[in-house]
Structure 1
């Protein structure tokens, strides 16, 4: 398993789309914070809200990295070669999802620390232990949502055998399509991108699911997509 994880890590960082996604997940939040027009002296709620909004936009990079990681097996028709090195499809799939999880956690920590450093220099306020605990508690839930979103996107890559299709599906939902659908139907609040919106919103939006319900709904999407994609990956013929 360790050898498989090392191989998958090398495969991830050697693919341009994955590297682009990692850079995007780190740079996009920083650009948002650096260009935000906020007063130098801010309240705790405002600063935490800015940090969470930045992490929300960082999901765009996570989508690109996750789609690229699984999608490259199909876009470069490399899956047959990959299976020669690891014949057990379930072990291979497990290694891929463990690897993407580890990478997303690392990216989330780096992005969060850099965002906090930017906020520290931007705002003149006392950074108490209580504030930092609250920050890291909220950020941890945001990173958990990142992981689940990465799993959903990866599963979509397997289901569609494509790199582009998952990006074409998930990008519009992150950038506002899910909110537009919610204006048409209340059922849209159960979409995986909208279900966890309150994780990144301060104050919380009463019309949407609360944090824990949203995470549970998003996890339900993860389970559904993982079951479908695992079955397809295990039994679908390889070209």
Structure 2
């Protein structure tokens, strides 16, 4: 157990020493709440009860007050997916894998330590970033918004759903990065889905709802979104993606030959 905990601490130290980690923290924890402030000011200008009929620039009516701010969740999801993919594929660059195996000879413990380290980082960023985003939104709305600290039961519920979505997609991206030994495949697969491709495919074909990002959208869909709020279905689909990605990458990792390439 002590050696496993040392491996987890080693992986966390590796992540925290990367510039990418701090850039992602900056984007998710600082830029996303700032974007929420700007967006909320825009809502105040047009009115919280604005509809496409009263405001030509709106595609959909604004959601009920409890759901304000959750339209920004996909903004921070992008750096989280990038983070997971890079951490998964980074081990195979510059002979890092052989160096890591010198510190922890057990590939099983090493793989589990990496998964746990990514999970801890994803939980840390997602909880702080999403809470600050929703809190900043209602702080800007002032008396028209919710209490920016305590929010509401619905808002807290959707924060939980959004956090779960970020965590599962980060782990999925990590698993794909480990499986394909690079970050290109998970990013090429997931990033276009974040930028509306997943929504387009889900609306055009029924099978599109089983893509990971489209399934994740079901967790925090608001009453005015073009898709229904179905967290159970979304979680099940996402978990299946994550289980398949991690189990496959685990199998290939423990059986792969490090050789001179890695």
Alpha-carbon distance between aligned partners in 2 of 1:30 and 1:106, rounded to the nearest angstrom: 16
Q: Which has the greater radius of gyration?
A: 2
Verify the 8 A CA contact 1:195 1:209 in the aligned structure 2. no
Q: Helix, strand or coil for the counterpart of 1:74?
A: coil
Alpha-carbon distance between aligned partners in 2 of 1:82 and 1:128, rounded to the nearest angstrom: 44
TM-score (norm: length of structure 1): 0.89
Alpha-carbon distance between aligned partners in 2 of 1:128 and 1:120, rounded to the nearest angstrom: 5
Equivalent residue, structure 1, for 2:72:
54
1:29 counterpart = 2:32: yes
Q: Helix, strand or coil for the counterpart of 1:121?
A: helix
Structure 1 spans left out of the alignment, 5+ residues: none
Q: CA RMSD in A?
A: 2.5
Alpha-carbon distance between aligned partners in 2 of 1:201 and 1:189, rounded to the nearest angstrom: 13
Alpha-carbon distance between aligned partners in 2 of 1:117 and 1:206, rounded to the nearest angstrom: 25
Verify the 8 A CA contact 1:157 1:165 in the aligned structure 2. yes
Q: 1:4-19 alignment to 2 at 5 Å? A: 4-19=7-22
* Match among 74, 80, 104 for residue 86 of structure 1: 104
* Match among 239, 246, 257 for residue 219 of structure 1: 239
1:38 counterpart = 2:58: no
Q: 1:140-159 alignment to 2 at 5 Å? A: 140-159=160-179
Alpha-carbon distance between aligned partners in 2 of 1:163 and 1:32, rounded to the nearest angstrom: 27
Structure 2 spans left out of the alignment, 5+ residues: 50-61
Q: How many residues align?
A: 239
Give the Å deviation of 1:233.
Answer: 0.8
* Match among 136, 139, 142 for residue 159 of structure 2: 139
Equivalent residue, structure 2, for 1:107:
125
Equivalent residue, structure 1, for 2:85:
67
TM-score (norm: length of structure 2): 0.82
